[in-house]
Structure 1
Amino acid sequence: MVMARNVVIVVVLLFAVIQDSKAALCNIDDKGLAACKPSVSQPNPVEPSEECCEALSGADLTCLCSYRNSFMLPALGIDPDLAMGLPAKCNLTPPSTC
């Protein structure tokens, strides 16, 4: 029952993001998320682009860290470990709680 509820929540969230072209996740807009996705996706992640790092520099890193153990990241094709390492690759200091 809990799994079904979680799936419904993800579907609703994804639908909301798709419907709103100006959607943002933790202060990163859809363009920034798209720029960073190749750096946090398996099997062949790439170094983050300048556009990705620029988007990440304006992000709420504490908010992003809250997704570390979420099932949402893998469901979106994002490797949580790669995602958590992205700030350091962009010369940003992640929150100590991350």
Structure 2
Amino acid sequence: MMARTITTAAVLMVSMLSVSMIVNANADICNVPVDDLMKCLPAVRHPPEPPTPGCCAVIGAIKPEDYPCFCQYKDNPILKVFGVDIDLVFKVPVKCGLKGVPSHC
């Protein structure tokens, strides 16, 4: 029972540290500032909202070669905490009218 409590506490600490790193305004995910990506949060959660002009501006600034980087987050539990669906991430560029962007991992 004690080992289970210690393991649970360790997992919780690592999760909290990961969340704080992601939420940190100076952090980047795939060369995009987290603050900018947060503008797209409503468009990548269920039920998805249409991307805002601010979100589309962020997505339009992402280099096509950086999109595969987002696939490494597909099973990231931190994104699940925020309710992010990685499949919706790849639908936002199309909804923003961007072409030449990967549509899935």
**Does 2:89 align with 1:75?**
no
Give, in angstroms, the shift of residue 37 of structure 1.
Answer: 0.4
Q: CA deviation at 1:48?
A: 0.9
RMSD between aligned residues: 2.7
**What secondary structure is seen at the aligned counterpart in 2 of 1:11?**
helix
Letter of the 2:26 counterpart: K
Q: Is the 8 A contact 2:90 2:103 kept in 1?
A: no
Query: Identity percentage over the alignment?
Result: 28
Q: Offset at 1:80?
A: 2.3
In structure 2, relative to structure 1, the CA distance for the partners of 1:76 and 1:96 (3 Å cut) is: closer
Partner of 2:29: 25
Structure 1: segments with no counterpart, 5+ residues = none
**Residue 102 of structure 2 corresponds to residue 95 of structure 1:** yes
Aligned residues: 95
What is the rounded CA distance, in whole Å, between the counterparts of 1:85 and 1:7 in structure 2? 31
Q: CA offset at residue 46 of structure 1?
A: 1.3
| 1:48 partner amino acid | P
* Shift, 1:51, TM fit: 1.3
Q: TM-score, normalised by structure 2?
A: 0.67
**Structure 1 residue aligned with 2:43:** 39
**For structure 2, which runs of at least 5 residues remain unmatched after alignment?**
none
